[in-house]
Amino acid sequence: MYENVRGSEFIEIHIRGLRKMIDVRGGINSLPSDKGQYLGEMALQQDIIHAVCSNKPPMMFDICDPTLRDLCMNRLENWYPQSPLRVMNDGGFTRIDVELQGSFEILRDAFQLFEMLCVEVYDEQTGVDQAEAFGAHRNMAWAKMVREEESMSEDVLSSPRSKAEGAIVLAAKIHFRAVVMRTPHHDVANVRDMKKLEGLLRGIDLGFWKIAHYVYLWILLTGGAASHRHAECRPYFVSEIMRLGLGVGLFDWTSYRQTLGNFLWLQHFLRKQTGWDRAGE
């Protein structure tokens, strides 16, 4: 964990060693259900965090197709239970917490923009047919983010709620460049937003995010991926993802793992698009 936070070059050696130890025991699924399961989840978590914040493929975690919304009673749900952009921590989404109500549209747009990318990747004809509608939605989403950011000032960003809203806007901008412009998170275009994001997050008490820890996870993953090559910022994002994993992920592993899996798929897709997949970069 310490080497992961520091970004040490030895972390990959130790992750490979962990994988060999687990493989000798028959693989993660063969570990005992008590301490063995905990060991397996901890190892996977270190592997995934290193992959996200170093923009490299994971060594132990299989990247699968993203999980999107499900059909429910012959209609699409507004959200799916393990969405990285979910507003509430309950699966039903029967209400929107007032603390994040002002960010609902930004979060909804970010989720839908990710879905549009998946449609274009997995259903090319639908992507072509919906190109005009997708373009209009993307333009409106970007304009909305720009307006929100322009309204932010030091005076406005004085409360935890306003700082959280500002952090969501900054993360959404980095996310937009990834899913619309297909720009890797660590691209220079995101450096300013990533550094502002880190500054805002440091000023928010962690207790605030108990209302929406998966929104917080999405923000951290987005910022963490953008902090690659920035040693002054990366440790903060890595340590916060670890903290969230220990406090939430190990007790809600299915949801936590699914959220991480969707993000790793996006990074994998962007590496293929840009050819940025050579070891050691």
Q: What is the pLDDT of residues 27-73, one digit of tens each?
A: 766 666 666 666 777 888 889 999 999 999 999 888 989 877 644 44
- Give the least confident one: 4-18, 203-217, 253-267: 4-18
Do 120 and 248 lie in a common domain?
yes
Do 106 and 200 lie in a common domain?
yes
Q: At which of 28, 62, 96 does a domain end?
A: 62
Domain count for the chain: 2
Do 42 and 157 lie in a common domain?
no
Using DSSP, state whether 96 is helix, strand or coil. Answer: coil
Do 12 and 135 lie in a common domain?
no
- Going from the C-alpha of 202 to that of each of 199, 206, 232, the distances in angstroms are 5, 9, 13
Domain span at residue 2? 1-62
Query: How many angstroms separate the CA atoms of 166 and 201, rounded?
Result: 9
Do 1 and 102 lie in a common domain?
no
Q: What is the pLDDT of residues 115-152, one digit of tens each?
A: 899 999 999 999 999 999 999 999 999 999 999 998 88
Helices (H), 55-159: 104-122, 124-129, 131-150
Q: What is the pLDDT of residues 197-228, one digit of tens each?
A: 999 999 999 888 887 888 899 999 999 999 99
Q: What single DSSP character describes residue 277?
A: -
Do 132 and 105 lie in a common domain?
yes
Do 35 and 164 lie in a common domain?
no
Query: How many angstroms separate the CA atoms of 218 and 167, rounded?
Result: 11
Contact residues for 225 (Cβ-Cβ < 8 A; gap 6+): 52, 53, 55, 184, 185, 186, 263, 267
Do 114 and 227 lie in a common domain?
yes
Do 45 and 165 lie in a common domain?
no
Do 73 and 101 lie in a common domain?
yes
Query: How many angstroms separate the CA atoms of 7 and 173, rounded?
Result: 25
